[in-house]
Amino acid sequence: GTTSRRTSGGSSSQYLRMFASQLLEEFDGVDADNDGIYILAATNRPWDVDPALRRPGRLDRTVLVLPPDEPARVAIVENTLRDKPVAAVDAREVARRTAEFSGADIAYVVHQAIEAAFTESVASGVPRMIGTADLERAAARVVPSTREWFEQIKPVLEYGIDDGTFGQLRAYLKRHRI
């Protein structure tokens, strides 16, 4: 039950038990006049959130945030390249090649491309601008960080309690053949 989750485990779980207990006290201690108060919490391990915290009146709604879609990936590429030495970059092509990437993964791809172009410029003595090919090469070398999370979620999808997000997750996994 929920009590055993908060009362078993090592030193790190002791900290989590204390944290969960403190949150429960805070939630239960909030006055009845709490209109307009919303608490937003984020985790990449929702299956580890204590069920007592997910009861009505506490953290009772789940919103699934999937990796960015193509327009968002285009914007991430463009914003990360802002004020950088860039030649003509086809942000849509880069976005197409980064379909499973998180926003942080895409920013990392851009930074890797910038670093590679800079290193090449220093070695050759000829400064050059960053182009689409630099970003494509960098994207080919980066493994999306989301894959590990999607592998972790598969058993949860099969055996976990659906909080309303499983359908969205299954559709995403199917669409991306994960």
- CATH number reported for the structural domain that contains residue 176 in this entry: 1.10.8.60
Count of other CB atoms within 10 angstroms of residue 67: 21
How confident is the model over 15-26, as pLDDT tens digits?
667 777 777 777
β-partners of residue 130 are 86
Whether residues 50 and 95 fall in one domain: no
Whether residues 43 and 81 fall in one domain: no
Which residue carries 């006055």 as its tokens? 31
Per-residue pLDDT at 172:
87
Domain containing 177 equals 66-178
Whether residues 74 and 92 fall in one domain: yes
Whether residues 53 and 120 fall in one domain: no
Band of the pLDDT at 34, cuts 50, 70, 90? Answer: low
5 pLDDT more than 70: no
Residue that terminates a domain, selected from 45, 61, 77: 61
Per-residue pLDDT at 104:
95
Classified as helix, coil or strand, 24 is helix
Closest C-alpha to 135, from 108, 99, 100: 108
Whether residues 153 and 104 fall in one domain: yes
CA pair distance 102, 150, nearest whole angstrom: 12
Whether residues 53 and 77 fall in one domain: no
Per-residue pLDDT at 33:
63
Closest C-alpha to 139, from 111, 176, 168: 111
Per-residue pLDDT at 116:
94
Whether residues 45 and 111 fall in one domain: no
